[in-house]
A and B are shown apart, each in its own frame.
Chain A
Amino acid sequence: MADFTPIPKNIEESNRSVRVFVSYGKDAWNRLKKNKVAVASLVFIIFVILFGFAGSVFFPNYTKQNLLNTFAPPGSPGAPLGTDELGRDLLSRLVRGTKISISIGLTVATINIIIGSVYGGIAGYFGGAADMIMMRIVDIVISIPEMIILILLLTIISKGMPTLILALCLTGWTGTARLVRGQVLQLREQEYILSARVLGAGKFFIILRHLLPNAIDPIIVRFAMSIPGVIFAEAFLSYIGLGVSIPDASWGNLAQVGSNQFPNYLWLFFMPATLFSLTMLAFNLLGDGLRDALDPKQRW
Chain B
Amino acid sequence: MSNINSNTDVNHSNPLLEVRSLKKYFKVGRRQFLKAVDGITFHIYQGETFGLVGESGCGKSTTGRAIARLYSLTGGEILYDGMDISKFKGKAATRYAFDVQMVFQDPYASLDPRMTVESIVAEGMKIHRMYNSEQTRAKVYELLEKVGLNKEHAARFPHEFSGGQRQRIGIARALAVNPKFLVCDEPVSALDVSIQAQIINLLRDLQREFNLTYLFIAHDLSLVKYLSDRIGVMYLGSLLEVAPAEELYKNPLHPYTRALLSAIPVPDPAEESERTRILLQGDVQSPINTPEQCKFYSRCKYAEARCRERIPPLVETTEGHWIACALNKELNTDAYAI
Contacts and interface: CB of A to CB of B under 8 A. Distances in A.
Given A194-B102, A214-B112, A214-B114, 13 more contacts: A24-B157, A191-B110, A194-B65, A195-B102, A195-B110, A195-B123, A196-B123, A196-B127, A198-B70, A198-B101, A200-B97, A200-B98, A213-B114
Given A191-B106, A205-B127, A197 B70 contact: yes
Contacts, number: 68
A214 B104 contact: no
Nearest to B114: A213
B159 A299 contact: yes
- Most B C-beta atoms less than 10 A away, residue of A200, A202, A210: A200
A210 B207 CA distance: 30
Interface in B81-130: 93-94, 97-98, 100-102, 104-106, 109-115, 123-124, 127-128
B70 A199 contact: no
Interface string A70-100: 0000000000000000000000000000000
17 contacts: A24-B114, A190-B110, A191-B105, A191-B109, A191-B110, A194-B68, A194-B104, A195-B102, A195-B173, A195-B174, A196-B127, A198-B101, A200-B94, A200-B127, A200-B128, A209-B112, A296-B113
Given A21-B156, A191-B106, A192-B109, A200 B114 contact: no
Given A21-B156, A191-B105, A198 B97 contact: yes
Contact of A194 (B70, B159, B173, B177): B70
B112 A200 contact: no
Interface in B115-150: 115, 123-124, 127-128
Given A197-B70, A200-B93, A210 B112 contact: yes
Interface in B253-285: none
A201 B113 contact: no
B104 A191 contact: yes
Nearest to A19: B160
Contacts of A299: 159
B114 A198 contact: no
B232 interface: no
Contacts of B195: none
A190 B93 contact: no
Given A191-B106, A191-B109, A210-B112, A201 B123 contact: yes
A198 B102 contact: yes
Given A194-B70, A299-B159, A199 B123 contact: yes
A200 B106 CA distance: 20
Interface in A150-188: none
B170 A195 contact: yes
Given A191-B104, A191-B106, A194-B104, A199 B177 contact: yes
A197 B101 CA distance: 10
A209 B170 CA distance: 17
B128 A198 contact: no
B155 interface: yes
Contacts of A191: 104-106, 109-110
B159 to A, nearest CB: 7
A14 B267 CA distance: 50
A128 to B, nearest CB: 10
- Most A C-beta atoms less than 10 A away, residue of B65, B100, B102: B102
Contacts of B105: 191
Nearest to A24: B114
Nearest to B176: A199
A214 B101 CA distance: 24
Contact of B127 (A192, A194, A199): A199
B69 interface: yes
B124 A200 contact: yes
A190 B109 contact: yes
Interface string A204-246: 0100011001100000000000000000000000000000000
Interface in A250-300: 296, 299
A210 B93 CA distance: 21
Contacts of B123: 195-196, 199, 201
Contacts of B155: 21
Considering the complex of A and B, which 5 residue pairs feature the smallest CB-CB distances, nearest first? Answer: A200-B97, A191-B110, A199-B124, A191-B104, A192-B112
B116 to A, nearest CB: 8
Contacts of B106: 191
B102 A201 contact: no
Contacts of B111: 192
A24 B102 CA distance: 27
Nearest to B120: A192
A201 B68 CA distance: 13
A192 B110 contact: yes
A108 B159 CA distance: 37
A201 B124 CA distance: 8
A195 B104 CA distance: 8
Interface in B156-186: 156-157, 159, 170, 173-174, 177
B213 to A, nearest CB: 16
B97 A199 contact: yes
Contacts of B128: 200
A58 to B, nearest CB: 43
Contacts of A202: 127
A145 to B, nearest CB: 34
B128 to A, nearest CB: 6
A137 B203 CA distance: 50
A198 to B, nearest CB: 5
